[in-house]
Structure 1
Amino acid sequence: MRGTISTASCKAGAITSRRHRPQEAPGPSADAVKLALNRLRKRGKIASPAHGFSVIVPPEYSAIGCLPADQFVPQLMANLDLPYYAGLLTAAQYYGAAHHRPQEFQVFTEKSRRPAKCGRVRVRFIARKQARLAATRPFNTPRGTLTVSTPEVTAIDLTGYPDHAGGLGQSITVLSELVEQIDPNKLVAAAQAAPLSWAQRLGYLLERADARQTAHALQDYVRSIAKDYTPLSLRGPKDGPHNKNWKIIVNEVVEPEI
């Protein structure tokens, strides 16, 4: 095994290792490459968000000790050969709906992975089945293109993964700011690709956020197939008032922050 730094990788700001093909000219030994990379790492010139994957740290990012996550996550996931999309509070930022700046960059993929730490940058990986099928949009970054969930998928995920969003209170606050970006017809399509209980919770939260017109698009879908009541919060008590419109057991009081 010999480590190499390809021209393409350098331009993208990333360093990876690969096997030399037999026809390639001999290069430096693996030990020599490792030693050189360690020297650069100690000088803060490179950083490693994941095993076998390092990034070049330009002077303008020396204070955080890494590239911003949006500038290396696309190449990292390509290197791992995993589908992904930036979601939840991270996605909400791209639509002007992040109430607070998230402390970590949130990435959905189809396999569980440990969080990535790189200088002051934190990346949280969240496993979701068939993440590759979620509707997404591309956003340009200084080093490529980042895949981000659409506003509709982001809304669904905020109700499906409230703990990762800071709780239902944070979810409804973000939804109240995200609603202007949501296409009601696309919202139904996103709901159909997720568990029904997520759509039930989302409809209830949208109504609480005074987004009844957007919620109305979900209502026919939920009413046509929802037979059982589902709790609003999975962490709350098992009983509470019953909301008939969405078949929700209201076991937590949630209001958007003003």
Structure 2
Amino acid sequence: MTSLDQFVDNRLLHGRAHFNRDEALAAVNLNPDGLTAAITRLVKKQRLANPRHGFYLILRPEDQMTGAPDPVRWIDPLMKYQGLDYRISLLRAAAFHGSSHQAAMVFQVVVPKQLRDFEIGRHRLQFLYQTSKAFAKLNQPDWLDRIKSDAGFAQVAGVELTLLDCARYFHKAAGINGVAQIAKDIGAKAEPRALAKAAAAYENSSVRRLGYLLERAGHTRQANALEPFVKKAKTAVPLDPSVKPLIESLSELHEKNARWKLVINEPVEIDF
């Protein structure tokens, strides 16, 4: 039987910079209390980090400055440990697909379960809930890509899901203007029919907002693919529902966009 230090070194030697408590208990010559003490010692020495109960990251010297490796290197094994499917989305996915404006300060993951956000070292992980029914429809290979790292692969939303997720969770994607910029940067890469098919699993108002922003960005084919969703809308909604007028009567002065049944209550600024 080996010590925890030897176990950790051996995992790194085989390219696995993570482990769970059960794996360690099976491999080391320690009882549960002894293992807890040994793990605590290595956490204090910055050899281990603990993003979730029972799951540990092995820190290389270069990771110790940031307190943990880039989450793309360990999000896949973490989610498998928790028994959950997932996709990296929003700002990190937009940057992956070529939105150079997105300097993602937060690592955002869409999951079919309510999970608590957390910080580890300099990294902040944010979990966005999507209903299990919609998630099961969307989290399919045809709509996902993979980010490669030295630790393997992680699932990331394809262009279509990235755009739709950003429109749905716009308040987590740098607001309406942030989504507008993402639509400008990567909208042309979306396949119109795939975009429309995926959009059927999203709230109608989110789809209409995305259609409007794609049109503003000059991506006519992609915007046109979403236009049929307007027929299902009964009333116009604000482009940015988070913006509340100081005087309610002034809301009547906002421009109405009939094509998308939106009240343009926030100016949209895009860098071309």
TM-score for both structures, normalised by structure 2: 0.85
Aligned residue among 134, 137, 150 for 1:142: 150
- Compare the two structures and name the one with the higher helix fraction: 2
Give me the whole-angstrom Cα distance separating, in 2, the residues matched to 1:26 and 1:206. Answer: 56
- Structure 1 residue 80: deviation in Å? 0.5
- The residue number in structure 2 matching 1:14 is 18
Q: 1:54 to 1:20 in 2, by over 3 A?
A: closer
By how many angstroms is 1:223 displaced?
3.9
Instruction: Indicate the residue corresponding to 1:225 in structure 2.
Output: 232
Give matches, 1:21-170, under 5 Å: 27-130=29-132, 131-134=135-138, 135-170=143-178
Report if the CA contact (8 A) 1:209-1:255 is conserved.
Answer: no
Separation in 2, partners of 1:58, 1:26: 21
Residue type of the partner of 1:143?
A: A
Give the residue type in structure 1 aligned to 2:52.
A
Deviations 1:96-147 (A, max 9, x none): 1141311110011112222122211111111111324323222222112101
Which structure 1 residue ranges, 5 or more long, are not aligned? none
Q: For 1:146-225, what aligned pairs fall within 5 Å after superposition? A: 146-219=154-227, 221-225=228-232
Q: Does the Cα contact within 8 Å between 1:176 and 1:256 map onto a contact in 2? A: yes
Asked whether the equivalents of residues 84 and 132 of structure 1 are also in contact (C-alpha less than 8 Å), the reply is no
**1:241 corresponding residue in structure 2:** 255
Q: Distance in 2 between matches of 1:25 and 1:15?
A: 11
Query: The residue matched to 2:22 in structure 1 has which SS?
Result: coil
Matched position secondary structure for 1:83 = coil
Distance in 2, Cα, partners of 1:38 & 1:17: 12
TM-score by length of 1: 0.89
Residue of structure 1 in register with 2:266 after alignment: 252
> Which residue identity lines up with residue 252 of structure 1 in the other structure?
E
- The count of aligned residue pairs is 253
Aligned in 2, Cα 1:27/1:113: closer, same or farther, shift over 3 Å?
Answer: same
Please give the alpha-carbon distance, in whole angstroms, between the structure 2 residues aligned to 1:8 and 1:192: 44
Structure 2 residues not aligned, in runs of 5+:
246-250
239-248 or 45-54, larger mean C-alpha shift: 239-248
**Alignment CA distance shift 1:111-1:202 (3 Å):** same
**Identical counterparts, % of pairs:** 29
- Aligned AA for 2:17? G
For 2:29 and 2:40, locate their aligned partners in 1 and report how far apart those are by CA, in whole Å. Answer: 18
Q: CA RMSD in A?
A: 2.4
